[in-house]
Amino acid sequence: MSYETTRPAGARELLAGEDGWAYIDVRTVEEFEAGHAEGAFNIPVATRAPSGGMLPNPDFVAVVQKHFAPDAALVLGCAMGGRSARACEALEAAGHTRLVNMYGGFNGASDAMGTVVEPGWQACGYPCEAASPPERSYDGLRA
């Protein structure tokens, strides 16, 4: 594993810097549309199955590669940090070299008892939005 992991504060610092980091929200379209980090791109690593579970998005890597070079600086986030870690692994296997997983995600990470162990982007009070221009939505990115 060569990707890094950071908390929301570290991700915000990277995104606010001058190194050109981009934020990819790997949650479902529905989750993304309910609220996301300001300026995020939505490329789901998994989609909801009709049965209610999650299925890997077979187009995830291809859509990322269509818009971001292998050496692009990318922060990946989800709801808590699990899906974004899997997304980092998939992109790393495809040759991407500057990847950061945001542990805590948008909603915050919880332990087995439901206690929040890492506040998420939203709980930290960082800039959020619900609307997104087409060039940052999954429909626009996969077109």
**Residues of the chain falling short of pLDDT 50:** none
pLDDT given at position 56: 96
Which of 83-114 are b and which e, b meaning 16 or more Cβ less than 10 Å from the residue's Cβ? bbbbbbebbeeeebebbbbbbbbbbbbeeeee
Per-residue pLDDT tens digits for 35-46: 999 999 999 999
Whole-prediction pTM value? Answer: 0.95
- Residue ranges and CATH numbers for the domains of the chain are 4-142 (3.40.250.10)
**Residues in CB range of 2: below 8 A, 6 or more apart:** 92, 97
pLDDT given at position 1: 58
**Catalytic residue IDs:** 78
**In the block, which residue shows the tokens 């009070």?**
125
**Residues in CB range of 130: below 8 A, 6 or more apart:** 33, 34, 35, 36
- In this structure, the chain runs to a length of 143
